[in-house]
Structure 1
């Protein structure tokens, strides 16, 4: 594909063949709130974005010292929060803000946490205690962590002061929050719930973390509620062990001093619509996903992932694979049909039927998968070798050693060296896979043989040996 001169030209070109988007953000270029659409049509985005003073004139919206604060009851009621804060750099900045509240603590995190959890805790001077989730080799996926794993980790290290979960994951699998809450007792329970904001608006969804024992959550509004990209929220529960004022203080350290009225108006419009019509919107999305799954079941080349006997799951998502093809192969073939999906792994594909997917969209997806399965898949139930095709990344997560404080790394001199010369050296950079944002290498991490195998001919920035 020929590169365009700039983003404006690239956007024009993209619009000419706008693909079906079975992935997040969950708007697919469509509005769910007509009042916000009318506002944009009437005034244009520039005039809305210039209405900064209008935010001072909203009942319940805090503006202490000309800084945006708590968003008020519009958000408190659906989320069950005592404090809700607006983020316009997505859940990434939300995780870093909450991490600051955990300064100097030992924090138990999943090894496959988002890079913002790692970087936030490193900035806070916290000690990261890694916990490896169960790996499902059949689908090349990580499962949610369990209460048993949490309990065992806390028994091994009673000084752990907080746990930081990632749930739901991109595949829609949800940790058992209530069991984990019981296991961690008085230890702080924070949840990167970027993929779970919609769980607060329908009984058909898994219960949200904030209503199941979490002290605070970070929720992406653009991922599942249809808002513009980079819109997110921090929510602090009414019974939180994490002081709300402490979260506010961290928020004002890192959040922008120029909040966008355009983004905030869009977030509010999405939350309002979900409060009024969330049950219907999500029921519609779930029914379309059921239609997709029913069609897959009729294809002899397709296997659908079913984890319901182990975990609660998001009913708007489907994990599937076509026998004889890698997940990446299937994703590439769908891309050629103008169909983009949420995620592919070596073994499977993940599809999100969000609230802006239509029945026509689903019919085109079904036709696309059916064609790929018929032309490229195999029917025979060949016994698969349930081994990840490239297990290096898995080994990196298990063996990770962070040995030097971030601030010491930043204060030191560094050099770029070929990967094969870096064994035992200390990383002076971050490298990660996005999506979903898993870190392959973080500041202060000791470079292992697995890193050298993973990066091959690339160079790595390492601390200089003086």
Structure 2
């Protein structure tokens, strides 16, 4: 078969998306350019694509300009030190797990962590001790977990290497992280925080408090999501001294690319400056937009926007209003169908959808016109489907929170390295899974390697398959088969 080398499918697809002038209510937060720092918008990016030349420092042993840029970021966030990441928050989380956990030191974590955590568990050999997070009523997604549940888990798992929390979750909700920090201090265990969606929290008093200010020992933030950097540009902050700096640096040298992008690192440096000088002012405008949009959408029949009235308990104490979580449950079409209609009919692309909800991210690159376009489109969708008629008829009961936790039979590392075989999903009950399967977004695992495949997991996967929901991790993207440990 001859290949047409004139064809550039990826380039063509990106050019097409760029040319349609889409309303981008998704990450990266620069919105296709408007939210980028001026230094990045006016730069000669090809000329910035260099290697470790004289005067340009070395990410893996920084003593010059990279070290100075990292120190400036640390000062902005009140961190003991900051590491620039060019492999996203994924590598930061994996490095922290590798630096604190091992086969003899478990990782205590909520089930709604991002699937990238699996890499840290496989590398470290640690056993996961999962905690069931709180479910937000009316929206049915998982949020944080309570200090009481953490205390019980640490009492039962003596010698835990670390606790990992998500702050905020993908839907913008935070739990009682200060309470979790107190529990960790009592047990002498470091608190690691996935703050991928919270780069901006520290910069405005109306937002939930950031993780470092609440006592976290180590925090990873996706600066590209809400901070104006380019995709894959993240940073890792160390707070207290329970996480050893050298161990983290060693893990990052092992896991990060040996050819780091200077363009990504420059975008971190430029984003830090923009956040320091303009962050609060931009967030003032975004919060005003968010409140106005929520008020307008709440008046549309069949729709509801997440607000404080839906929160309660230590697992869901506050939320980020710049993340519009819109329930379409009463429309009866489901979040997936609503997102497809927004894109196909209105050219509006939201960050994510689930069975009941849409999540639209308002960030540095979002304009008032973008937000009003969303409001108008949601009104049109409500009119077109007839709100309140046969509510929930197409949601199929696929809860965003996922099925109940399956039993853990072996560590993820042992299952990952074990001999494996492929079986039909319908015939996998009672077997031990050898791969991770996650609905993406938000990337929360339905099953981890080493867990028993239960009836509830199978039923959930069959629903996912029927609805054609996008998944990651599985070798068979059609979810007809699943890899299991060949015992």
Question: Alignment partner for residue 375 of structure 1, among 384, 394, 398?
Answer: 384
1:459 matched to 2:485? The reply is: no
1:450 matched to 2:456? The reply is: yes
Question: Alignment partner for residue 85 of structure 1, among 72, 83, 86?
Answer: 83
Distance 1:435 1:128 in 2: 22
1:223 aligns to what?
225
What SS does the aligned partner of 1:53 have? coil
Query: How many residues align structurally?
Result: 451
Distance 1:194 1:153 in 2: 24
Distance 2:455 2:65 in 1: 48
Q: Is the Cα contact below 8 Å between 2:135 and 2:401 reproduced in 1?
A: no
Displacement of 1:372 in angstroms is 1.1
2:471 aligns to what?
none
1:127 matched to 2:127? The reply is: yes
Q: Is the Cα contact below 8 Å between 1:416 and 1:461 reproduced in 2?
A: yes
Distance 1:423 1:65, change over 3 A: farther
1:154 aligns to what?
154
CA RMSD, Structure 1 to Structure 2 (Å): 2.7
Distance 1:273 1:300, change over 3 A: same
2:292 aligns to what?
291
* Partner deviation per Cα, 1:193-252 (whole Å, 9 max, x = no partner): 100111122223222101110000111011111211111111101x23111111111111
Distance 2:400 2:384 in 1: 32
Q: Is the Cα contact below 8 Å between 1:68 and 1:259 reproduced in 2?
A: no
Question: Alignment partner for residue 38 of structure 2, among 13, 34, 43?
Answer: 34
Displacement of 1:459 in angstroms is 0.8
Structure 1 residue ranges without an equivalent (≥5)? none
Distance 1:20 1:85, change over 3 A: same
Counterparts of 1:429-444 in structure 2, within 5 Å, are 429-444=435-450
1:254 aligns to what?
255
Displacement of 1:145 in angstroms is 1.3
Distance 1:406 1:66 in 2: 39
Q: Is the Cα contact below 8 Å between 2:174 and 2:208 reproduced in 1?
A: yes
Q: Is the Cα contact below 8 Å between 1:55 and 1:261 reproduced in 2?
A: no
What TM-score do you get using the length of structure 2 for normalisation? 0.86
Q: Is the Cα contact below 8 Å between 1:317 and 1:351 reproduced in 2?
A: yes
2:15 aligns to what?
12
Distance 1:64 1:34 in 2: 25
What SS does the aligned partner of 1:318 have? strand
2:95 aligns to what?
97
Q: Is the Cα contact below 8 Å between 1:91 and 1:233 reproduced in 2?
A: yes
Displacement of 1:15 in angstroms is 2.1
Distance 2:73 2:64 in 1: 21
What SS does the aligned partner of 2:341 have? helix
Distance 1:145 1:33 in 2: 36
What SS does the aligned partner of 1:425 have? coil
Distance 1:66 1:260 in 2: 16
Name the stretch that deviates more: 436-445 or 371-380. Answer: 371-380
1:332 aligns to what?
340
1:241 matched to 2:250? The reply is: no
Distance 2:401 2:429 in 1: 16
Counterparts of 1:304-383 in structure 2, within 5 Å, are 304-307=305-308, 309-310=311-312, 311-322=317-328, 323-325=330-332, 326-336=334-344, 337-378=346-387
Q: Is the Cα contact below 8 Å between 2:121 and 2:412 reproduced in 1?
A: no
Q: Is the Cα contact below 8 Å between 2:303 and 2:331 reproduced in 1?
A: no
Q: Is the Cα contact below 8 Å between 1:147 and 1:176 reproduced in 2?
A: yes
Displacement of 1:434 in angstroms is 1.6
1:181 aligns to what?
181
Q: Is the Cα contact below 8 Å between 1:110 and 1:165 reproduced in 2?
A: yes
Displacement of 1:411 in angstroms is 4.1
Q: Is the Cα contact below 8 Å between 2:305 and 2:324 reproduced in 1?
A: yes
Distance 1:442 1:462, change over 3 A: same
Name the stretch that deviates more: 268-277 or 450-459. Answer: 450-459
Displacement of 1:410 in angstroms is 4.4
What SS does the aligned partner of 2:451 have? coil
